[in-house]
Amino acid sequence: MSVQHTFQEVSRIWCDAKRPIVKHSTMCAYTLAIQTHLLPCFGEMKAITESDVQRFVIAKFASGLARKTVRDLIAVLKSIVKFGGKHKMFPFEVWEIEYPTRTEARRLPVLALNHQRMLMRHLLEKPSPQNIGVLLALCTGMRIGEICALKWEDVDFVQKIITVRHTVGRVYNCESKTTEKSKYSLYHIFKMYFMNFGINIWRFEEELLLSV
């Protein structure tokens, strides 16, 4: 006779089964999704219906989560419930979930040209490591992880070229429940040209271009 478990209990067993198989960073992403989104809604349930999941999806969209984020959450939810059904711990049924479409496109805030000039002037007048990072992002389009991973050997002051070789990302550590930095290589190398505004003033110390 099968014993019914709560979703929280099944998710814990599912995590134990997944841990030896997937990468640590992937496992931490699963744990964060479960603890932050799934357990508060489904934790004590012993069965999850299509209506329950549909309400969850609508609520997450209403809270401002991106479509991909919601789909990723549902993928984890399905995997756990399917695992529970396979091992006769939790009832499993196929859900047909509909994802709302946004009626209006989300408009990103963009700096007006005069505000951009004011910001650049302030950053140049006070060239701290943080301000240099903002200036690089503003003028080159580099991502924050790419800027934080820069080293002096990535900067060619003669040719005025930045070579982006690495990026740094923040990964949730499911053991310490903190966020830490992980470094990994980009698949390709591309180059960005410096703006002509006296980059040599940025040489503070012969270490990293930015404090990581």
Q: Counting beta carbons within 10 angstroms of the beta carbon of residue 112, is it exposed (0 to 12), middle (13 to 18) or buried (19 or more)?
A: exposed
31, 172 contact by CB (below 8 A): yes
List, for residues 58-101, the tens digit of each pLDDT value: 999 999 898 999 999 999 999 999 999 999 999 999 999 999 88
User: What is the rounded CA–CA span in Å between residue 81 and residue 50?
Assistant: 12
Two tokens, residue 111: 């700096």
Token pair 């997944």 in the structure block, residue: 18
76, 32 contact by CB (below 8 A): no
150, 162 contact by CB (below 8 A): yes
| Residue 205, pLDDT score | 38
List, for residues 107-147, the tens digit of each pLDDT value: 778 888 899 889 988 988 888 888 888 888 888 888 888 88
User: What is the rounded CA–CA span in Å between residue 127 and residue 208?
Assistant: 15
Task: Answer whether residue 18 shows pLDDT above 80.
Answer: yes
Task: Answer whether residue 197 shows pLDDT above 70.
Answer: no
Q: How would residue 105 be classed by pLDDT, with cut points 50, 70 and 90? A: low
CA-based torsion, 126, 130, 136, 139: positive or negative = negative
Q: How would residue 11 be classed by pLDDT, with cut points 50, 70 and 90? A: very high
Query: How large is the average pLDDT for residues 25-44?
Result: 92
Task: Answer whether residue 190 shows pLDDT above 60.
Answer: no
Sequence-ordered list of residues with C-beta below 8 angstroms from that of 186, at least 6 positions apart, any chain: 146, 164, 165, 166, 167
Mean pLDDT, rounded, of the chain: 80
User: What is the rounded CA–CA span in Å between residue 38 and residue 40?
Assistant: 6
| Residue 172, pLDDT score | 59
Task: Answer whether residue 102 shows pLDDT above 60.
Answer: yes
